[in-house]
Amino acid sequence: MVLIDAAKGCATEPPNLDVYPADFVVCSFYKIFGYPTGLGALIVKNEAASLLNKTYFSGGTVAASIADIDFVQKRKSIEQVLEDGTISFLSIASLQHGFKIIEMLTTSAIALHTSSLATYVRKKMLYMKHRNKKNVCIIYGQEASKVADLKTSPTITFNLKREDGTWFGYREVEKLASLSGIHLRTGCFCNPGACAKYLGLSHSDLVSNFEAGHVCWDDNDVIKGKPTGAVRISFGYISTYQDAEEFLKFLQSSFVSKPIASSNGHTLSMNTLNLVDNQSQQVVPDVRLKSIIIYPVKSCQGFSVQSWPLAAGGLKYDREWLLQGSGGEILTQKKVTESFLLSVCSTLWITPQCCPKS
Ligand SMILES: *Cc1c(COP(=O)(O)O)cnc(C)c1O
């Protein structure tokens, strides 16, 4: 027998049961309208109903019982057997408003809207490149869209790569997204089978990840250089083109390496510097360079070098970055005096551990 978990699948369009015949289909209403949570539906083919032999004995399921002998008659119809206890009548009452919206917009318009947004974002993501021309986004399940009867899904599942080919962990993406006010889903999406298939994780990878301490919902997003899950964004009837642009802007600014202001081929060096008078073109005596200090991150500690390449704006990387607070405000030493304790390691990771004394 076949059960389709259409909780996500029918968020924008109901599954086509002519193409995918099923005996049971489950769906979740908040995935369709956004409200109410905790309420879904089980749709049962009449012929399959007799298989659902629920033994629950309580309010709503009993037609008759006699207290002091072993006599009980269950209610007969499938919904009476399965809807035990007090049903969520307040939530159920609110469903009509959700259905009204869907009927007003029509599912075909919703599917068209969400798939055009997803197609647009998917294309932009595929073209997104680091400065070394390497791809930023690895999108999973694209081959599905080549199946003629499957329309473009409103969902994009992906992972992000750094310039050097290593992965950004999905937790890192999720945390940065939430700082930007973007809600996305990460992990394996209740679907361990697809997760292992698309991430190329073998049974022994999965077992050794578990033995290494990885469990669902934890922070172990990359183990032995391989992602343990992915990132997923979905568009619904409420999503707008601005939402799509906002998401792309977030990817661009948080994960894509930008072209560096290219060095003009000149280097400032402690022993090569002569100060030349502009007018006389004579070397000025008694003026010497005492030190060269690079401050890559504004208001943080710098580091001293013997020589350093020059770029269009001056010394390469000098004050090229700054710190932002979680609200987007720029942190300077005037505002956060501790920022001067942050130093910059050679790999340009900012970490307080870089300065052991403080
Ligand atoms: C959301 C989801 C569920 C769970 O539905 P709830 O109503 O949140 O319990 C199950 N399966 C899939 C594929 C889902 O996307």
Q: Which two tokens mark 120? A: 């647009």
Instruction: Tell me how far apart the terminal alpha carbons of the chain are, to the nearest angstrom.
Output: 65
Task: Give the pLDDT score at 353.
Answer: 42
Q: How far is CA 89 from the centre of its chain?
A: 35
Q: How far is CA 272 from the centre of its chain?
A: 49
Q: Which residues of the chain have pLDDT under 70?
A: 142-151, 260-264, 271-273, 335-358
Tell me the CATH number at 119: 3.90.1150.10
113 and 71, same domain (yes or no): no
How many folded domains does the chain comprise?
Answer: 3
68 and 58, same domain (yes or no): yes
310 and 255, same domain (yes or no): no
Q: Ligand 1: distance of its center to the CA of 28 in Å?
A: 6
* 97 Cβ contact partners less than 8 Å away, ≥ 6 residues apart: 33
Distance CA 340, CA 352 (A): 10
72 and 213, same domain (yes or no): no
Task: Give the pLDDT score at 197.
Answer: 92
119 and 181, same domain (yes or no): yes
Q: Which atom of ligand 1 is nearest to the CA of 31?
A: 1
Strand partners, 324: 330
Phi, psi of 29 (to 5 degrees): -70, -35
- Closest C-alpha residue for ligand 1 atom 6: 28
238 and 133, same domain (yes or no): yes
Q: Are 303 and 310 in contact (CB under 8 A)?
A: no
Q: Where are the alpha helices (DSSP H) in 128-276?
A: 170-179, 192-199, 203-211, 241-255
Task: Give the pLDDT score at 357.
Answer: 39
144 and 248, same domain (yes or no): yes
| 47: containing domain | 1-105
Residue whose structure tokens are 């990132």 = 231
Distance CA 95, CA 87 (A): 13
Q: Which atom of ligand 1 is nearest to the CA of 6?
A: 13
Any ligand 1 atom below 6 A from CB of 39: no
Tell me which of 79, 105, 131 is where a domain ends: 105
Task: Give the pLDDT score at 42.
Answer: 94
Distance CA 249, CA 211 (A): 38
299 and 204, same domain (yes or no): no
Q: Is the peptide bond before 15 cis (omega within 30 degrees of 0)?
A: no
Q: Ligand 1: distance of its center to the CA of 25 in Å?
A: 12
98 and 123, same domain (yes or no): no
Sign of CA dihedral 243, 245, 247, 250: negative
Q: Which of 12, 31, 42, 91 to mutate to test the pocket of ligand 1 (most atoms within 8 A of CB)?
A: 31
Q: Ligand 1: distance of its center to the CA of 235 in Å?
A: 16
Tell me which of 105, 131, 153 is where a domain ends: 105
Tell me which of 202, 228, 259 is where a domain ends: 259
- Closest C-alpha residue for ligand 1 atom 11: 7
Task: Give the pLDDT score at 16.
Answer: 87
Q: Ligand 1: distance of its center to the CA of 7 in Å?
A: 5
117 and 228, same domain (yes or no): yes
DSSP string, 64-104: EEETTTTEEEE--SHHHHHS-SS--HHHHHHHHHHHHHHHH
Closest CA to 159 of 178, 181, 136: 136
Any ligand 1 atom below 6 A from CB of 5: yes
Strand partners, 185: 232
Tell me the CATH number at 51: 3.40.640.10
Q: What is the dihedral of CA 248, 253, 256, 261, to 10 degrees?
A: 140
Any ligand 1 atom below 6 A from CB of 28: yes
Q: Which of 4, 8, 25, 216 to mutate to test the pocket of ligand 1 (most atoms within 8 A of CB)?
A: 8
Task: Give the pLDDT score at 352.
Answer: 46
CB atoms within 10 A of CB 104: 8
Task: Give the pLDDT score at 346.
Answer: 46
pLDDT by residue (tens digit) across 115-143?
999 999 999 999 999 989 999 999 998 66
Any ligand 1 atom below 6 A from CB of 161: no
What 8-state DSSP symbol labels residue 130? -
99 and 114, same domain (yes or no): no
* 61 Cβ contact partners less than 8 Å away, ≥ 6 residues apart: 54, 74, 75, 80, 81, 84
Task: Give the pLDDT score at 263.
Answer: 64
Q: Which two tokens mark 64? A: 């008759």
Closest CA to 128 of 292, 14, 287, 249: 249
Task: Give the pLDDT score at 116.
Answer: 93
Distance CA 263, CA 309 (A): 6
Tell me the one-letter amino acid at 207.
Answer: V
**Per this entry, what is the length of the chain?**
358
Active site residues: 190
298 and 196, same domain (yes or no): no
Any ligand 1 atom below 6 A from CB of 284: no
Task: Go through 177-201 and write b for each residue having 16 or more CB atoms within 10 A of its CB, e for each that does not.
Answer: beeeebebbbbbbeeeeebbebbeb
